[in-house]
Each structure stands twice: as C-alpha cells, then as structure tokens.
C-alpha cells in the first residue's frame, strides 16, 4: 500500500476478513472505506462489488486508486449493461431500487433494471454495502428486498458481504431484522423480531415498532458480527462540538399561512411517521416543510453575512428552492463571496471538484443538500456549519455535522440549527430526533469497543 493505516483500521480489516458477513459500524469519520479496502487485500479478492450512495462513487473510486492501485476500477453511472468482470465495480444504491416485472408478465423489463446483470456477475469475492442504513432497513423497500431477502437477495452472490455505516439505527431495532433474517439466517418473522426488540405502538395505519427493548440481549446477538468503535473509545481526541438552536420568530399571519392545511389531528400521524422514518409524502406535509424552509432563508442569509460567522462556512439544506434563494442573493449582493453547492443533480465529478475547491480554500460558502452530501464528504477546512432546515431523521442530522467534526479537524466545531418558533411540526421533529438518538445510543454503547 502507498499509505499507512491507523491501528484501528488494521484491526478492523482483520475483523472483516475473518467473516463471511460482517458489519463495520465504526463512528463517522474513523475511516471505514480504507478499512474495507485493506480487508479486500487481506483475502486477495479479485472481484469486488461496491454498492454505495451515488455521491460516494467517486470517493470509493479515489480510495481504491490510493490504497489498492493494482485493482482495475469501473464506476457505473446508471444502468448496468453487462455483468461486472474482475476488479472493482462501483454502483449506486439506486441500482438495486428497481423492481423486476412479475413472473410470466409480457411487460418489457425497464432499461434501468440492473439486478439480473449484477447477479450474472456472481460469484463475487466481496460485496460491500456502504451506508447500509440508507433505504436498506425497511423490508418493504425494493432495494432492501433485492439485497437481503433469502432465496434471491444479492447478498448470497458473494463469499464475503460487509455492510458499512456509522449510524445503523435510523428508527428502531426493527431496522436490524433484514440482516438477521437474511445473511445471519435467523428463523424469526419481522413481527416476532419487533415484539422481542421494539415497543409496538398504535399508528394511523396499524401497529408500528419504536425504540429498543432488551438492548443487552440484542447486543449479545450482534456482537460476533459487528465491530463498533467511536472516536472517543479509540482514544482519538477531536476538538469540541457545540450544537445550538437558532430560533426564528415569524409574523403570526405568516406562520398561520404556512401551517394552513394542517390541524392538531395531524400531530399524531406525523409523530408516528417520524418515529418510523416513513417520511410523509402527502401534499399538506410537503407544502408546510417546503414553506418553513423558504421562510427561514432571510434569517440564514443574515447569519451568513454576520461578522461573527466564521468563514469558510457549510450550509446544509433540504429543498432546492432554499438553496437557489440563498445562492441567488449571495451571488447578486456579495460578489466577493465565493459560493458553490452540492445537490442530488450534480455529477460525481462536480461533487469532487466542489469538495476539492472548498478544502483548497477556493470557496467561502458551500451549500450542501443533506440528502445528497450528508455522507462521504470531508469538509474539515470549515469548523462552522448551519442547518437551514431540519432533516427527517437524527441520522441525517448527525451525518451532516460529521462532515466537519471528524479526524483531521483541528478547531472546535459549531453547528447551528434553524428552527421556527411556534411551529408544532418543527417542535415535534426536533423532539423525535432527540428520542431516536437516545434509543440508538443505548444499543451502540453496549457494542462499542476500544480495539
């Protein structure tokens, strides 16, 4: 190798190499990607499939070039047109998200359906599922079934399957049923798993799992297959992190207009949806979240221009309109301020360029869509970030902040979260995010080790 691993990455590579199915749940910023690549070298893998968020494809490509330059690497931008060959093939999560036509159907297979090609490339020496919490925890999700379900799941097409994420629990212990039922071959139904390890609560569409029950028992089951280290447990000292809420008070008439279409009876169903991570897509909720984001834009801009705000600065957003308004104002009124953005529409080369420009000192403000850029990026040139909008899950919030608060950061990090006063939707979202974090930490704390 051309670079040197940290000791915890060496032990992590050994852990993965010794197991057919393994979960690397090291905390964000500890370097899971080089760890997995080192494990590939240990087992002398010749055919590797990496499944990752679209924005991470360039990261994996670059990391393989650095740590394992002898591997030929193919990065697939869209449809997998032929079975992967030897070397490393990198595809996005979306590759597994399409559904096959029903058996016997005369309907033509959609061009974007790549699962048969991936299966035709088997056997793989290693399949790496990166950020395995994104869309792979709900058994109703097509990508989750295509990967995990016994008898047809892609996981069975490899000698080694390694899942990587620093935030494995998005909603509740129900998130862990699929790997238990599939690769770990536990003969337990989803309902029985939830009865054992979650609290079932009534919802507007039935009973839903929340939280974690019997965390000690669950940790004992997972421990042989999971490696979890935090920055603290490894003795790595990061600068302090301060998280602060920035309250925004809107005129009463404006807030009433924004919240119009929702009433107190919506509170219960929204809470249940948040607790289960099933982001509501009905028009009323979508409109209110969008309107709240736009209403915050003037306060966010004022904060960016405040003399006490540290530059360079990272601003996380959810909606494209929010980014467009911030960018348009700064471009027109602050021409000396160098601004760019990353969202779900930019190419992997544009993502790479924006990150490098920011880290090299050629940008003052980087606007990052939480859904697209909240993982995989290292933005440690900044030690100050703003969350202009609250994401739907605590995982997304924590992942975003970890772009700055990670190894190689040398200064105290400040994260400021904008929140509208008097909006029960934002109050509820903030409360549920806190509860989810506490439930997740209860289990991860039991699994955390120092080696």
Given a cut of 80, whether residue 265 has pLDDT beyond it is no
Distance between CA atoms of residues 129 and 148, nearest Å: 11
What DSSP designation does 228 have?
Answer: B
Return the CATH number of the domain spanning residue range 241-420.
Answer: 3.40.50.300
349 burial level (CB within 10 Å; 0-12, 13-18, 19+): exposed
- Please give the share of the chain, as a percent, with pLDDT higher than 70: 90
More confident of the two residues 204 and 42: 42
Distance between CA atoms of residues 417 and 386, nearest Å: 6
Indicate the pLDDT class of residue 102, thresholds 50, 70 and 90.
low
Distance between CA atoms of residues 221 and 181, nearest Å: 13
Distance between CA atoms of residues 51 and 133, nearest Å: 12
pLDDT at residue number 108:
46
More confident of the two residues 209 and 187: 187
The residue among 252, 230, 250 whose CA lies nearest residue 241 is 230
More confident of the two residues 208 and 185: 185
Indicate the pLDDT class of residue 48, thresholds 50, 70 and 90.
very high
Distance between CA atoms of residues 128 and 144, nearest Å: 14
User: Is domain 7-100+114-227 given the CATH code 3.40.50.10810 in the classification?
Assistant: yes
Residue range(s) of every CATH 3.40.50.10810 domain in the chain: 7-100+114-227
For the stretch 320-355, pLDDT in tens is 999 999 999 999 999 999 999 999 888 878 888 999
pLDDT at residue number 118:
95
Residue range(s) of every CATH 3.40.50.300 domain in the chain: 241-420
Q: Which residue has the tokens 């087992």?
A: 43
- Please give the share of the chain, as a percent, with pLDDT higher than 90: 59
Distance between CA atoms of residues 5 and 200, nearest Å: 43
Residues whose CB falls within 8 Å of the CB of residue 62, separated by 6 or more in sequence, listed in order: 352
User: Mean pLDDT across the stretch 257-269?
Assistant: 71
The residue among 115, 13, 145 whose CA lies nearest residue 67 is 13
Given a cut of 60, whether residue 105 has pLDDT beyond it is no
pLDDT at residue number 282:
61
pLDDT at residue number 422:
87
User: Mean pLDDT across the stretch 90-96?
Assistant: 92
Distance between CA atoms of residues 168 and 171, nearest Å: 9
DSSP string, 156-218: GGEEEEEEE-S---SSBGGGGHHHHHTTT-----HHHHHHHHSEEEEETTEEEEEB-S-HHHH
pLDDT at residue number 2:
47
Q: Which of 139-148, 173-182, 394-403 has the lowest mean pLDDT?
A: 394-403
pLDDT at residue number 100:
55
pLDDT at residue number 395:
77
Cβ neighbours of 130 (radius 10 Å): 25
Given a cut of 90, whether residue 79 has pLDDT beyond it is no
Given a cut of 60, whether residue 312 has pLDDT beyond it is yes
User: Mean pLDDT across the stretch 69-84?
Assistant: 92
User: Mean pLDDT across the stretch 282-302?
Assistant: 87
Given a cut of 50, whether residue 107 has pLDDT beyond it is no
- Tell me what the pLDDT averaged over the chain comes to: 88
Q: Which of 91-100, 117-126, 164-173, 175-184 has the lowest mean pLDDT?
A: 91-100
pLDDT at residue number 283:
67
Q: How far is CA 190 from CA 161, 178, 336, 446, 450, in A?
A: 22, 8, 56, 23, 32
pLDDT at residue number 56:
87
User: Mean pLDDT across the stretch 360-379?
Assistant: 88
Q: Which of 28-32, 290-294, 393-397 has the lowest mean pLDDT?
A: 393-397
Helix (H) / strand (E) element for 436: namely helix 424-447
User: Mean pLDDT across the stretch 90-100?
Assistant: 83
Indicate the pLDDT class of residue 1, thresholds 50, 70 and 90.
very low
For the stretch 236-246, pLDDT in tens is 888 999 999 99
């Amino acid at each position: 190798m051309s670079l040197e691993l940290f000791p915890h990455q060496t032990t992590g590579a050994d852990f993965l190499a010794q197991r057919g199915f393994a979960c690397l749940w090291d905390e964000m910023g500890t370097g899971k990607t080089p760890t997995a690549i080192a494990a590939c070298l240990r087992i002398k893998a010749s055919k590797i499939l990496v499944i990752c968020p679209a924005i991470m494809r360039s990261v994996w490509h670059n990391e393989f070039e650095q740590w394992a330059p002898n591997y030929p690497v193919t990065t697939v931008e869209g449809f997998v047109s032929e079975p992967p060959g030897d070397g490393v093939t990198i595809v996005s999560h979306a590759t597994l998200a399409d559904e096959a036509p029903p058996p016997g159907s005369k309907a033509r297979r959609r061009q974007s359906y790549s699962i048969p090609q991936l299966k035709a490339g088997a056997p793989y020496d290693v399949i790496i599922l990166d950020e395995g919490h994104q869309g792979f925890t709900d058994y109703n999700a097509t990508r989750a079934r295509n990967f995990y379900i016994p008898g047809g799941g892609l996981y069975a097409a490899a000698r080694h399957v390694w899942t990587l994420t620093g935030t494995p629990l998005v909603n509740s212990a129900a998130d862990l049923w699929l790997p238990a039922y599939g690769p770990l071959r536990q003969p337990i139904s989803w309902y029985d798993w939830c009865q054992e390890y979650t609290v079932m609560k009534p919802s507007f569409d039935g009973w839903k799992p929340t939280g974690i029950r019997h965390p000690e028992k669950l940790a004992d089951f997972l421990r042989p297959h999971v490696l979890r280290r935090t920055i603290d447990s490894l003795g790595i000292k990061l600068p302090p992190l301060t998280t602060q809420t920035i309250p925004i008070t809107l005129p009463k008439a404006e807030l009433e207009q924004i919240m119009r279409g929702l009433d107190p009876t919506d509170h219960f169903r929204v809470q249940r949806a948040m607790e289960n991570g099933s982001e509501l897509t009905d028009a009323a909720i979508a409109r209110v979240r969008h309107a709240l984001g736009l209403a915050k834009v003037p306060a966010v801009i004022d904060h960016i221009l405040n003399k006490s705000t540290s530059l360079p600065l990272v601003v996380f957003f959810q909606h494209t309109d929010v980014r467009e308004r911030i960018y348009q104002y700064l471009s027109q009124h602050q021409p000396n301020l160098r601004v760019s953005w990353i969202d779900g529409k930019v190419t992997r080369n544009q993502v790479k360029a924006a990150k490098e420009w920011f880290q090299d000192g050629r940008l003052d403000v980087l606007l990052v869509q939480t859904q697209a850029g909240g993982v995989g990026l290292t933005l440690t040139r900044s030690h100050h970030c703003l969350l202009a909008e609250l994401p739907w899950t605590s995982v997304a919030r924590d992942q975003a902040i970890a772009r700055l608060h990670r190894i190689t950061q040398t200064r105290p990090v400040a994260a400021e979260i904008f929140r509208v006063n008097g909006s029960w939707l934002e109050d509820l979202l903030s409360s549920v995010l806190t509860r989810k974090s506490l439930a997740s930490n209860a289990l991860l704390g039991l699994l955390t080790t120092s080696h």
